[in-house]
Amino acid sequence: MRGTWTIGRFRGAPIALHWSLPLGALFFGRFGWVPGFWLAFALVILVHELGHALVVRLTGNTVVHVLVHGLGGECRWDGDPTRLERACIAWGGVWAQLVLAAVAFTLLLIAPPSSLFTAELLHGLTWSNLFLAAFNLIPIPPFDGAEAWKLPGLLRERWRKRRLKTARHTPTPAMRPAPTVKVLPFPKKVDRAEAFPVEDEGPLSAEARRIVQEAAEIAKRAAREEAEKKRR
């Protein structure tokens, strides 16, 4: 690439600095003598573009080149990502800046700057870094925010699809079998004689009948005698 200086490679892709980088650092440094901020400006842009490159690699795509110039940077890559992967790639630069800011804030708390250069450097890696990250998230092209802010909606859509898929493939609990009811057969009509059989008459029964007959005859005779007395 013309007007660039290759300082390294990322998985074979060249990492280059453009000649306009000092002009951008001078402009964002308000044309003052702030060498610490100039270095921080270059580091922030480089880390931002390497963050893009790392997410490109993690999503299975190919990094073509990484370029740092005065108006920001460029991570050229090739592949066929999904909408979710594209949104993650757009966030990659900001995520890398946030990690850099966290490290810089930690160093600032552990060891306060002892020189003007260090103070300018840490200021550029913290507050200026966060300002550039927020500025880059403006949701209009060519800023990363045009793709990055699609991520929450895509994650919500993916979560819903997984939830529906899980609900479809989750077996429903087996229903308990209905209790079996044993139906007893309706009792058939039973003859009274069959239900209450009369025992065969034995000797005792015949004797009792004879006594009853004799008593009846005695009663009849007594009744006749009484009637004859009345007539007389």
Give the residue, 34 or 2, on which the prediction is more confident. Answer: 34
- Looking at the chain, the whole-number percentage of residues with pLDDT higher than 90 is 63
Percent of the chain exceeding pLDDT 70 equals 83
pLDDT of residue 165: 80
Mean pLDDT, to the nearest integer, of 15-34? 94
pLDDT surpasses 60 at 136: yes
Closest CA to 74 of 100, 45, 39: 45
- What percentage of the chain's residues is helix, strand, coil (to nearest 5)? 60, 10, 30
Pairing of strands 72-78, 62-69: antiparallel
Instruction: Provide the pLDDT for residue 225.
Output: 80
3-state secondary structure of 6: strand
Q: Is the pLDDT of residue 127 over 50?
A: yes
Q: Is the pLDDT of residue 205 over 50?
A: yes
Domain ranges, ordered by start, for the chain: 4-169
156-196 pLDDT, tens per residue?
Answer: 998 998 888 887 766 655 555 555 655 555 455 545 445 44
d(CA 62, CA 57): 6
Sign of CA dihedral 108, 114, 116, 118: negative
pLDDT score, position 196: 45
| CA dihedral of 87, 91, 92, 95, whole degrees rounded to 10 | -150
Q: What's residue 195's pLDDT?
A: 46
- 134 versus 224: the higher-pLDDT residue is 134
Average pLDDT of the residues in 41-61: 97
pLDDT bucket at 214, cuts 50 / 70 / 90: confident
Quote the CA–CA distance of 90 and 6 in Å, as a whole number: 24
58: pLDDT strictly greater than 60: yes
Task: pLDDT band for 198, please (50, 70, 90 cuts).
Answer: very low
Task: Give this prediction's pTM.
Answer: 0.70
Question: Average pLDDT, stretch 115-132?
Answer: 95
221, pLDDT greater than 90: no
Point out which residues pair with 67 in neighbouring strands: 16, 74
Flag whether pLDDT at 75 surpasses 70.
Answer: yes
Computed over every residue of the chain, the mean pLDDT equals 85
Residues with Cβ within 8 Å of 116's Cβ and at least 6 positions away in sequence, in order, are: 36
